[in-house]
């Protein structure tokens, strides 16, 4: 029983560590590429954490949002200046800003 509990605890710590590292990487990409416009709503960008501003965008679906990020949209440049972001990272960045 004790071995099972130890294994579960180690697994939990390992999974949490990946999540924390992933969060740190996404936060770093946000700081580098998104924050300037999305923190203050520069040039019409929806502000990070403004659920109302993000709602109509989220309603368009992930495919449209990802297309807008990758190709640029309105005043946002292609890839939002995150040239090394993957589609998965863009999705996580959108989720971070929309909360």
In the chain, what are the domain boundaries? 25-98
pTM of the model: 0.78
| 1 against 41, higher pLDDT | 41
Q: What are phi and psi of 51, to 5 degrees?
A: -55, -40
> How high is the pLDDT of residue 10?
41
Round to whole Å and give the CA distance between 87 and 64.
12
Structure tokens belonging to residue 93: 């960045």
The CATH number of domain 25-98, selected from 1.10.760.10, 3.30.540.10, 3.30.870.10, 1.10.10.10: 1.10.760.10
At residue 2, does pLDDT exceed 90? Answer: no
Structure tokens belonging to residue 71: 């190709």
Q: What is the pLDDT of residues 26-81, one digit of tens each?
A: 999 999 999 999 999 999 999 999 999 999 999 999 999 999 999 999 999 999 99
């Amino acid at each position: 029983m004790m071995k099972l509990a130890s294994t579960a605890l180690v697994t939990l710590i390992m999974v949490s560590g990946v999540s924390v590292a992933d969060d740190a990487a996404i936060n770093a990409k946000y700081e580098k590429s998104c924050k300037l416009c999305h923190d203050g709503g520069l040039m019409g960008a929806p502000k990070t954490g403004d659920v109302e501003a993000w709602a109509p965008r989220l309603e368009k679906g992930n495919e449209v949002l990802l297309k807008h990020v990758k190709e640029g949209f309105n005043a946002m440049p292609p890839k939002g200046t995150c040239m090394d972001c993957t589609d998965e990272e863009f999705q996580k960045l959108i989720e971070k800003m929309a909360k």
